[in-house]
Amino acid sequence: MTRAVAVRLGAFAGALALAFAAAFALGSAVDPVAAADPAPAADSHGGGGDGMSGMPSEEPADAHGAGHSEASAQPPGLAVSQSGYTLVPRNTFFQPGKAQTLAFTIQGPDGKPVTQYTKTHEKDLHLIVVRRDLSGFHHVHPTRSADGVWSIPFTFTAGGQWRIFTDFQPSALGKTLTLGADVNVSGLYIPVPLNEPASVYSVDGYDITLAGKPVAGKESSLTFSITKGGKPITDLQPYLGAFGHLVSLRGGDLAYLHTHPSMEAKAGMKGGPEIEFGTTFPTAGTYSLFLDFQHAGKVRTAEFTVNVTSDGTAIVPPSELPGAGEESPHGH
């Protein structure tokens, strides 16, 4: 071997070592488990406390910034592991259009499946399933076996990468957690574009109108009004201890916000037509909002796309737009 060849081979080996070192550093930086548990942050659902309801917890967190704010902490749902608890799917490969079993465990700090939970809004665990393009949203409640395995029959509607979120509170932990993991569904992937931002969504004859002024990094109030056939719905039924259930997902990384209205609802109570939520959007950006409500014994879901800015952009219902209610020149 000539000296020139040896020099070239040595240079190639050195470059290869540097490339491996860089790849290792990058992998460590983005690993979801390693990044899952930074300094203790505000509770995972809107400013510290009972994640779904926004009720205060014992931790010193404040939605307005007095403690850890959600704007400065990592939003929930981005990591598979937090506070010693890990979401472990039993299978991450599925077929579309076929009923299969979606199963997983929540592994505790001792490495064993968790079997003791504190109920949050009438359930030990809430499961959210949505495709990465934010289509195919499902909020379901699996059952748990004695050995800590959660399972539910589930049909993925289309191919692609899907995200599963588990929202729960272990009995041994004084706060709720939201852990997320991706699963893969075979078949042709045809992405579905987001709906354009709008203040009205219609489903099954119901018209749901959204109003509010969301501001990034601050607690914002959102109000949903529900009508059918032009008449306000005043007999909404309780669903998971409230008259509505709201999940917000940030476009791009699917950071997760999960809040309920402050008003609790018990069996026999009636609500509507308005449901108000207080929530904190951690950053400016585009969010998909999914509102579940129950009427006439059936749960329906309204979907909204909302642009959140740092200074607040009002969501104006059609009835409040300039010229609303004025008769057109053609009498329509």
DSSP string for 260-295: --SS---TT--B-SEEEEEEE-SSSEEEEEEEEEEE
CA dihedral 332, 321, 225, 291 (to 10 degrees): 110
Q: Is omega for the bond preceding 273 within 30 degrees of 0, making it cis?
A: yes
Q: If we measure between CA atoms, which residue out of 139, 153, 189 comes closest to residue 303? A: 139
Give the integer Cα–Cα distance in Å for 148 and 168: 13
Residue 221's pLDDT is 92
Q: Does this model's pTM top 0.75?
A: yes
Establish if 288 belongs to a structural domain.
Answer: yes
Same domain assignment for residues 232 and 129: no
Same domain assignment for residues 179 and 253: no
Considering 120, 154, 185, which residue would you say is the last residue of a domain? 185
Residue 207's pLDDT is 98
Establish if 287 belongs to a structural domain.
Answer: yes
Establish if 164 belongs to a structural domain.
Answer: yes
Same domain assignment for residues 116 and 149: yes
Considering 153, 185, 217, which residue would you say is the last residue of a domain? 185
Same domain assignment for residues 155 and 244: no
Establish if 194 belongs to a structural domain.
Answer: no
Residue type, 75: P
Establish if 228 belongs to a structural domain.
Answer: yes
Same domain assignment for residues 90 and 140: yes
Residue 31's pLDDT is 36
| Domain tally, the chain | 2
Pairing relation of β-strands 138-140 and 143-144? unpaired
Residue 322's pLDDT is 59
Paired residues of 225 in beta bridges: 209, 274
Same domain assignment for residues 181 and 206: no
Calculate Rg over the CA atoms of the chain. Answer: 23
DSSP string for 152-212: EEEE--SSEEEEEEEEE-BTTSSS-EEEEEEEEE-S-----PPPPP-SEEEETTEEEEEEE
Same domain assignment for residues 155 and 266: no
- Residues in the chain with pLDDT < 50? 1-72, 326-332
Residue 313's pLDDT is 87
**Which secondary-structure segment (H or E) carries 307?**
strand 298-308
Same domain assignment for residues 174 and 97: yes
Q: What domain range is 180 assigned to?
A: 81-185
Establish if 294 belongs to a structural domain.
Answer: yes
Residue type, 307: N
Same domain assignment for residues 279 and 214: yes
Considering 158, 185, 212, which residue would you say is the last residue of a domain? 185
Q: How many CB atoms lie within 10 A of CB 289?
A: 21
Q: If we measure between CA atoms, which residue out of 157, 158, 140, 325 comes closest to residue 247? A: 140
Same domain assignment for residues 204 and 316: yes
Residue 252's pLDDT is 94
Residue 261's pLDDT is 74
Same domain assignment for residues 181 and 213: no
10 Å CB burial of residue 41 (0-12, 13-18, 19+) is buried
Establish if 276 belongs to a structural domain.
Answer: yes
Q: What is the CATH number of the domain that holds 304?
A: 2.60.40.10
163: which 2 tokens?
A: 């995200």
Same domain assignment for residues 181 and 258: no
Q: What is the CATH number of the domain that holds 118?
A: 2.60.40.1930
Terminal CA-to-CA distance of the chain, rounded, Å? 89
Q: How many CB atoms lie within 10 A of CB 84?
A: 16
